[in-house]
Amino acid sequence: MPYKTKIIKRRTMPTFEIVTNKKAPPRKTTPKSFWRDLVGSMSAGDWFVLDEADKDKVGAGTSTYDRGRYSLYQHPELEGKYIFTITK
């Protein structure tokens, strides 16, 4: 019994005209990030209080922009609150 092989047909890529004699048009949208703006404006020693429900969201959102220069820990006096602080 002969083996059947599957033939994959590839689409040909369209040709693109590369423009080198003028600037690209300006963007209509700006890539904004709430977390980048928040963490970027903070310096060492700055901190804020957040709810326990927001702890994971804040940790995930800021981890891209703070790169290990933060600390997130439980508030020593308030139940269900956390402290986010910039360390470096």
The pLDDT tens digits for 45-66 are 999 999 999 999 988 888 888 7
Domain with 55, as residue range(s), is 43-86
20 in any annotated domain: no
Residue 51 domain-assigned (yes or no): yes
Does residue 49 belong to any structural domain of this protein?
yes
pTM of the model: 0.61
The answer to the question of residue 58 being in a domain is yes
Supply angle C-alpha 27, 29, 34, rounded to 5: 135
Does residue 69 belong to any structural domain of this protein? yes
Residue 70 lies inside a defined structural domain of this protein: yes
Stretch 22-46: mean pLDDT: 84
Cβ distance 63 to 23 under 8 Å? Answer: no
Average pLDDT over every residue of 62-87: 89
Residue 29 lies in a domain: no
- Tokens 């083996």 sit at which residue? 3
Classify residue 82: in a domain, yes or no.
Answer: yes
CA 58 to chain centre: 11
For residues 30-39, give the mean pLDDT: 82
Percent of the chain exceeding pLDDT 90 equals 25
How many distinct structural domains can be found in the chain? 1
Higher pLDDT pick, 17 / 42: 42
